[in-house]
Structure 1
């Protein structure tokens, strides 16, 4: 599950744009996700990560921007028989 908004905060306000890219750091053997960003803030995020890497606060490595992709599957259905109702008067019983 990803955040529904860009990770950037400007002047105390979080960006309201949906994420367009998953931001990660790739080194020789591993990849670390560090956030998500919209297209508008891609350069700002890249610059900030570069600064944090120079300060030793984030792993050294290549900054990677992978486009967010919608994923669908045929194995998840919303059939009526899949839903469970909860009796709020008697929380221990399920209908």
Structure 2
């Protein structure tokens, strides 16, 4: 399960956009998830993680933005209130 909103806070308020990317860091052949972000905040998240890496506060490694993909299964049943709109347009990195 992923959060239904971007992980970024603006002016003390949670971003209302749905997540478009899973943010992770690849280091020493392992991958660590750090959060989710929308297209609007992708560069802000990248800059913040880079800054924290330079300060030695988080693991140094390559920052990866993996597009969120909608997956369906017969095992999970929900109603229309459980679904989040996911923009499936390819990103322009």
Query: How many residue pairs end up in the alignment?
Result: 77
| TM-score scaled by length of structure 2 | 0.78
TM-superposed CA distance for 1:57, in Å, is: 1.0
Deviations 1:21-63 (A, max 9, x none): 0000001311000000000000000000000001111100000
Q: Measure, in 2, the Cα distance between the counterparts of 1:31 and 1:60.
A: 11
Residue 11 in 1 paired to residue 11 in 2? yes
Cα separation, 1, equivalents of 2:66 and 2:2: 13
CA deviation after TM superposition for structure 1 residue 77, in Å = 6.6
Q: Quote the RMSD (CA, aligned, Å).
A: 1.2
Gaps of 5+ in 2: 78-93
Larger Rg belongs to? 1
| Runs of 4+ displaced beyond 4 Å | none
Alignment TM-score, normalising by the size of structure 1:
0.77
Per-residue CA distance 1:5-32 (angstroms, 9 max, x = gap): 0000011011000000000000131100
CA distance in structure 1 between the partners assigned to 2:73 and 2:17 by the alignment: 26
Q: Name the counterpart of 2:25.
A: 25
